[in-house]
């Protein structure tokens, strides 16, 4: 700890930076998640048709899934250095910002558009700018509620599982507590969000479709999380260099006792 101003403390700056990246990833994932992309076409691969629970389909995901693995990494990094209280704080902050963003998105949709603006993008193939704006930012309420509830439940489960594994392994096996907590929390998250949005919601998906799509989404998230394990170790290395070994060790000890 420095003897100067609070913001001169590198640990404080680190927490602010991690929290900011965490929140912007969470909020951005919610807003860009309205787009569904084809993974095989994006990678230039032949379509791979999955077949689960009597349902089949291709690898289509929301664009928001591209950002969630980074949310997992940031969650585990904050947990590693700032403990359960740190993760809970940024999780509730992210939820508040997501709600804040959607409230103002709906207010923006409700404002009367300038008449010239409605047709301003016709040359780009958008005949009605207002309709496009409303379609993109006016996501269904069931999807919004489902994603927020699933996100918060997943984060709280992640914190608890990470802490239990850390108690059992000590400071060893960073990868185990990171992937273990993600595996359990995202199992809940992946199924809860689709259940609320598409089973309880107006589309009333059958159980077989719900299980199939949820399973595919969970498998994708886990593969991405495992692939990013080297990034977790890289971030730990960079944080150690930024804080110094003594300060870094102090933070991890405080987080473990949190």
Q: How far is CA 121 from CA 114, 116, 124, 131, 138, in A?
A: 13, 10, 5, 12, 19
How far apart, in whole angstroms, are the C-alpha atoms of residue 191 and residue 213?
9
- Burial profile 32-59: b = 16 or more Cβ within 10 angstroms, e = fewer: ebbeeeeeeeeeeeeeeeeebeebeeeb
Residue pLDDT tens, the chain, 258 long: 456 788 888 999 999 999 999 999 999 988 888 888 888 888 888 888 888 888 788 888 888 888 888 888 899 999 999 998 999 999 999 999 999 999 999 999 999 999 999 999 999 999 999 999 998 888 777 778 888 888 899 889 988 898 888 888 777 788 888 888 888 988 888 888 888 888 887 778 888 988 988 888 888 888 888 888 898 889 989 999 999 999 999 998 888 887
**86 lies in a domain?**
yes
Burial class (CB in 10 A: 0-12, 13-18, 19+), 78: buried
**39 lies in a domain?**
yes
Does the model's pTM come out above 0.95? no
How far apart, in whole angstroms, are the C-alpha atoms of residue 65 and residue 195?
17
**117 lies in a domain?**
no
Backbone angles phi, psi at 56, to 5 degrees: -140, 160
C-alpha of 50 from chain center = 24
**Which DSSP string do the residues of 164-196 spell out, in sequence order?**
HHHHHHTTS-HHHHHHHHHHHHHHHHHHHHHII
Domain count for the chain: 1
Both ends of the chain: CA-CA distance in Å?
Answer: 18
How far apart, in whole angstroms, are the C-alpha atoms of residue 179 and residue 222?
8
Structural domain of 49? 6-112+129-256
**242 lies in a domain?**
yes
Q: Tell which phi-psi region holds residue 25, choosing left (phi > 0), alpha (psi between -120 and 50) or beta.
A: alpha
């Amino acid at each position: 700890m420095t003897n100067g101003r609070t913001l001169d403390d590198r640990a404080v700056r680190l927490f602010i930076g991690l929290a900011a990246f965490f929140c912007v990833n969470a909020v951005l994932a919610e807003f860009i998640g309205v787009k569904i992309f084809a993974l095989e076409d994006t990678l230039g691969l032949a379509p791979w048709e999955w077949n689960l629970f009597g349902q089949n389909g291709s690898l289509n995901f929301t664009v928001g899934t591209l950002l969630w693995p980074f949310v997992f990494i940031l969650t585990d990094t904050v947990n590693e250095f700032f403990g359960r209280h740190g993760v809970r704080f940024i999780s509730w902050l992210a939820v508040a910002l997501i709600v804040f963003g959607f409230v103002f998105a709906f207010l923006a949709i409700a404002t009367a558009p300038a008449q010239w603006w409605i047709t301003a993008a016709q040359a780009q193939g958008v005949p009605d700018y207002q309709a496009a704006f409303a379609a993109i930012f006016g996501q269904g309420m069931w999807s919004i509620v489902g994603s927020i509830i699933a996100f918060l439940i997943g984060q709280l489960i992640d914190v608890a599982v990470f802490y239990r594994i850390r108690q059992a392994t000590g400071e060893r096996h960073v990868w185990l507590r990171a992937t273990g907590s993600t595996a359990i929390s995202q199992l809940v998250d992946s199924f809860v969000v689709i259940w609320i949005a598409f089973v309880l919601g107006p589309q009333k998906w059958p159980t077989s479709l719900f299980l199939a799509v949820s399973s595919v989404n969970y498998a994708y998230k886990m593969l991405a999380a495992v692939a990013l394990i080297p990034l977790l170790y890289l971030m730990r290395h960079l944080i150690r260099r930024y804080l110094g070994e003594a300060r870094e060790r102090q933070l991890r000890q405080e987080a473990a006792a949190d």
